[in-house]
Amino acid sequence: MDEVLDKINNDLRNSLSEKRYKHSLGVMKKAEELAKIYNIDINKAKLVGLAHDIGKELSDEQMLQYVRENNIEIDNVEEVNVGLLHAKIGADICKKKYNFSADMQDAIKFHTVGNENMDLFAKIIYVADKIEEGRIYKNEEKMKELQTVRELAEHDIDEALLYEIDSSIKYTIQKQKLIHPDSILVRNKLLKERKN
């Protein structure tokens, strides 16, 4: 485990910008904290938290080339918003380079827009990515929302996830960008589960 963590750490230090690398370390730390709260595998949480953005800084052209060369299926929203592909690419890289298990790959794959088939582990990685300590916003309202998600995450991961997805959808609408249908599907599932 430590050997793989060191390898990922070295790979990221050499391939990501300083800002993205620090973010990855922050997500690893937050994923570890949440894993302890929700009693899931801490080592896996640290590995995935660290590696989740491994494909983030590829150019749009590199991302499109990667998905073509590796037969990764993309949808019509990802064709327009190519940056979303870093999640699928990251999962594929981690499978091939570090032998990540299927649930670890899914957690990386789902960390951008969510997925209705997210397990507890994937939910923790999604939320950790959004609330790590280094994440700050200039907008006061966004900072209040961030603080709310941080507080929710400590006792109810589903509520934290729902709140974050609502916030993300609102932001996407304000920016007049496409909303990925997976975000809506996971939101609806969480709302239905809350009523049961």
Sole residue written with tokens 């640290």:
46
pLDDT at 137 over 90: no
pLDDT at 14 over 90: yes
Question: Would you say 66 and 86 are in contact if contact means Cβ atoms under 8 Å apart?
Answer: no
Sole residue written with tokens 């670890």:
104
Residues 6+ apart with CB under 8 A from 13: 21
Cα diameter, the chain: 48
Q: For a pLDDT cut of 70, what percent of the chain falls above it? A: 99
How confident is the model at residue 195, as a pLDDT? 78
pLDDT one-digit tens code per residue, 54-86: 999 999 999 999 999 999 999 999 999 999 999
- What average pLDDT does this structure show over 15-24? 96
Residue 145: band (very low, low, confident or very high) from pLDDT cuts 50, 70, 90: very high
For the chain, give the number of residues.
196
Average model confidence (pLDDT) across the chain: 96
Q: Where are the alpha helices (DSSP H) in the chain?
A: 2-15, 18-38, 42-51, 60-69, 76-80, 85-98, 102-109, 120-131, 140-153, 157-174, 181-195
- The pTM for the full model equals 0.95
Query: Which of 185-194 are b and which e, b meaning 16 or more Cβ less than 10 Å from the residue's Cβ?
Result: ebbebbeeee
How confident is the model at residue 142, as a pLDDT? 86
How confident is the model at residue 136, as a pLDDT? 87
How confident is the model at residue 149, as a pLDDT? 96
Residue 20: band (very low, low, confident or very high) from pLDDT cuts 50, 70, 90: very high
pLDDT one-digit tens code per residue, 149-175: 999 999 999 999 999 999 999 999 999
How confident is the model at residue 191, as a pLDDT? 95
- What average pLDDT does this structure show over 29-55? 98
What sign does the dihedral 103-105-107-109 (CA atoms) show? negative
Neighbours of 5 (CB within 10 A): 16
Domain ranges within the chain, ordered by starting residue: 2-195
How confident is the model at residue 194, as a pLDDT? 84
Please give the CATH topology (third level) of the domain spanning 2-195: Hypothetical protein af1432 (1.10.3210)
How confident is the model at residue 185, as a pLDDT? 97
